[in-house]
Amino acid sequence: MTHTAAQSKGPTAEMLTCTIGQHLDRVASRDPSHPALVMPHQDIRWSYGEFVAEVDKLAMGLLALGIEPGDRVGIWSPNRYEWVLTQFATAKIGAIMVCINPAYRLYELEYALNKVGCKAIVTAESFKTSYYIKMLQELAPELNDCEPGQLQAAKMPRLRIVIRMGESATPGMFNFGAVCEMGGDAQRLQLEAIGAELDASSPINIQFTSGTTGTPKGATLSHTNILNNAYYGGQTMNFTADDILCIPVPMYHCFGMVLGTLMCVSHGATMVLPCEVFEPLSVLQGVQDERCTALHGVPTMFIAELDSAQFASFDVSSLRTGIIAGATCPVELMKRLINDMDLNEIVIGYGQTECSPIDTMTAIDDPFEARVTTVGRAHTNWEIKISREDGSTAGIGETGEVCARGYGVMQGYWEDEEKTAQTIDAEGWLHSGDLGEMDENGYIKITGRIKDMIIRGGENIYPREIEEFLYTHPDIQEVQVFGVPDTKYGEQVAAWVQVREGAVLSDQEIREYCGGQIAHFKVPKYIKLVDEFPMTVTGKMQKFVMRDQFAEELDLKSAD
């Protein structure tokens, strides 16, 4: 279908109308012996029958503690089996799981728990420099003197229950393993009754979005939102129960819990979580040992795997497909994934948390050019359009804001009607804040963030265009382009560049490489060679941090 305006619809298909718990039970009943969850770092290897039994034990334990449908239950941990059980157990009893960023500290934790009124939190003991239990004790010193389940904290008035992972005993807290043994016949009957009554349109998950400004917002998602997104994401990849998916991305984000574990459950496939947090050698080991057919990641993860000095010693020939998302994939990286990792059917997924998260994907049989230069077309049961500032639909090839509409659009930001209305318009279109363009075949190309656009002396400059050019330099591994203040032009182009290991490159050589290749006003005036970039836990580059740091280093003043 050829488009004359930048608006398109994806293919239509029958929606899944059941809840996540109902779907899990059906999948497990079909083949209870099929491998479900493998977690080498915790010595976990469960079949679907065993997995459902463990999920139900936790679900009944939560019911025994007084958790009811609609209650918010926080989960604060790196990737562990307890995370996966909590995801499906809360879904089964209609509680709303609240994903807490494992990198959060005191202020952020207090904000998140209070913003959505968490009644309970499931927490790891610690990871690296994050001492989760100590932070909870600092925020709620009342834990030291209360019975487990009876917390009344001045700073977190809605929080009653703290469930800690591990074997150690902590005052005021339940142990995860003990909770899993609390349920009895009464809770089994209660679980069955709730499962029969739950509505698939009910909220099931709150994801805090990591905006560049302001406090995080709680995107509220339903069974229908995320189960269908997981299922149709798998359909695009020709996913079946025979697939084995390696999931190194963090569970607290939609990529891990929707396109990872839930995608596997939606198709009866096997989930492999190789490490608590991303570690390239553990990922490669997991792919080799489990003969994984699929591997997810953000660009920085795939680069770390490919650039590992031991990469060639691992057998990754079992790989077929996977999703690369979280940031635009450089063309050269896509070629390496196909040529060096056997990911011939890897796809690019694009979307945002507020869309559950995928609203466009490339197809495994798309032309190579489309697979390496676009984020694909409107996903199943989705609509995409490119919008001008005045709200009208842009033309083919015209840059504007990417907007999406479909079953996966969130119910809203938790108890924040104003911000919800700023994001979802009266016609149901979710405004992404991303700049993009659509070609005549409906393929979307992301060109940057609206707030990332550089305006230099009246010229609109899109950082992604400059980044793609710089990626063609053989010695450049990673690059981020952004604007910094300038008293004469308003903004100037700046770039942080990471050079490939063993290569030597100067900022002047980079400028010379640009000479005659891109417009003079696009050539970075300021270049910094770096070893790493500030980024979120999900691998998204934090350009606003780079911008602020670099402007301060250079003592730049704005034109205001």
The 10s digit of each residue's pLDDT in 1-36 is 677 799 999 999 999 999 999 999 999 999 999 999
135 shares its domain with 265: no
* C-beta of residue 70 within 8 angstroms of C-beta of residue 96: yes
End-to-end CA distance of the chain: 48
How sure is the predictor about 327, in pLDDT bands with cuts at 50, 70 and 90?
Answer: low
* C-beta of residue 98 within 8 angstroms of C-beta of residue 118: yes
Structure confidence by residue, pLDDT tens digits, 198-214: 999 999 999 988 543 45
410 shares its domain with 533: no
> Residue 536 belongs to a domain with what CATH number?
3.30.300.30
* Number of other residues whose CB lies within 10 A of the CB of residue 176: 23
334 has a pLDDT exceeding 90: no
Q: What is the pLDDT of residue 415?
A: 94
Single out the residue in 428, 449, 470 at which a domain terminates. Answer: 449
Single out the residue in 179, 199, 219 at which a domain terminates. Answer: 199
For residues 91 and 205, give the distance between their C-alpha atoms in angstroms, rounded to a whole number.
Answer: 8
How sure is the predictor about 537, in pLDDT bands with cuts at 50, 70 and 90?
Answer: low
Per-residue H/E/C for 228-290: HHHHHHHHHCCCCCCCEEECCCCCCCHHHHHHHHHHHHHHCCEEECCCCCCCHHHHHHHHHHH
Q: What is the pLDDT of residue 213?
A: 41
144 shares its domain with 256: no
148 shares its domain with 285: no
488 shares its domain with 440: no
* C-beta of residue 356 within 8 angstroms of C-beta of residue 423: no
Q: What is the pLDDT of residue 212?
A: 39
Residue 272's closest CA among 84, 521, 542, 399?
Answer: 84
**Contact residues for 66 (Cβ-Cβ < 8 A; gap 6+):** 149, 161
pTM of structure: 0.85
224 compared with 213, residue with greater pLDDT? 224
> Residue 182 belongs to a domain with what CATH number?
3.40.50.980
106 shares its domain with 248: no
How sure is the predictor about 371, in pLDDT bands with cuts at 50, 70 and 90?
Answer: confident
| 512: helix, strand or coil | helix
Single out the residue in 391, 420, 449 at which a domain terminates. Answer: 449
Mean pLDDT of 296-313: 93
Tokens of 376: 């694909």
> For residue 549, what are the domain limits?
453-554
| 176: helix, strand or coil | helix
Looking at residue 496, the DSSP 8-state letter turns out to be E
59 shares its domain with 79: yes
Mean pLDDT of 120-146: 94
Q: Is residue 205 part of a domain?
A: no
Number of domains the chain is built from: 3
Q: Is residue 252 part of a domain?
A: yes
Q: What is the pLDDT of residue 559?
A: 46
**Residue 235 main-chain phi, psi, to 5 deg:** -60, -40
∠ CA 29-34-37 to the nearest 5 degrees? 105
Q: Is residue 36 part of a domain?
A: no
Q: What is the pairing mode between strands 270-272 and 244-246?
A: parallel
Per-residue H/E/C for 66-104: CCCCCCEEEEECCCCHHHHHHHHHHHHHCCEEEEECCCC
Helices 20-30 and 223-236 cross at an angle (nearest 10°) of 50
Averaged confidence pLDDT in the chain: 93
Tokens of 545: 């941090």
**Burial of 291: CB neighbours in 10 Å, binned 0-12, 13-18, 19+:** middle
The CA distances from residue 323 to 182, 258, 263, 435, in Å, are 39, 12, 11, 21
Q: Is residue 90 part of a domain?
A: yes
Which residues are 9's β-sheet partners? 383
Q: What is the pairing mode between strands 454-456 and 459-461?
A: antiparallel
Q: Is residue 559 part of a domain?
A: no
How sure is the predictor about 538, in pLDDT bands with cuts at 50, 70 and 90?
Answer: low
Mean pLDDT of 151-172: 97
162 has a pLDDT exceeding 80: yes
Q: Is residue 560 part of a domain?
A: no
389 shares its domain with 483: no
248 shares its domain with 367: yes
For residues 258 and 249, give the distance between their C-alpha atoms in angstroms, rounded to a whole number.
Answer: 11
Judged by average pLDDT, the poorest of 49-58, 60-69, 321-330 is 321-330
Structure confidence by residue, pLDDT tens digits, 467-480: 988 998 999 999 99
Mean pLDDT of 401-427: 96
281 shares its domain with 379: yes
* C-beta of residue 484 within 8 angstroms of C-beta of residue 516: no
Mean pLDDT of 354-383: 93
For residues 365 and 321, give the distance between their C-alpha atoms in angstroms, rounded to a whole number.
Answer: 12
CA atoms within 13 A on the CB side of 401: 17
| 187: helix, strand or coil | helix
225 has a pLDDT exceeding 60: yes
234 shares its domain with 363: yes
> Residue 306 belongs to a domain with what CATH number?
3.40.50.12780
Q: What is the pLDDT of residue 316?
A: 98
Taking the alpha carbons of 248, 251, 257, 262 in that order, is the dihedral positive or negative? positive
Question: In percent, how much of the chain has pLDDT > 90?
Answer: 78
Structure confidence by residue, pLDDT tens digits, 439-464: 999 999 988 777 777 878 667 687 88
Q: Is residue 57 part of a domain?
A: yes
**Contact residues for 270 (Cβ-Cβ < 8 A; gap 6+):** 34, 35, 36, 37, 38, 243, 244, 245, 264, 290
Q: What is the pLDDT of residue 47?
A: 98
Q: Is residue 161 part of a domain?
A: yes
Which residues are 454's β-sheet partners? 461
Q: What is the pLDDT of residue 166?
A: 96
Structure confidence by residue, pLDDT tens digits, 89-106: 999 999 999 999 887 888
Q: What is the pLDDT of residue 309?
A: 95
In one letter, which amino acid is 353?
A: T
163 shares its domain with 231: no
DSSP string, 409-474: S-SEETT-HHHHHHHB-TTSPEEEEEEEEE-TT--EEEEEEGGG-EEETTEEE-HHHHHHHHTTST
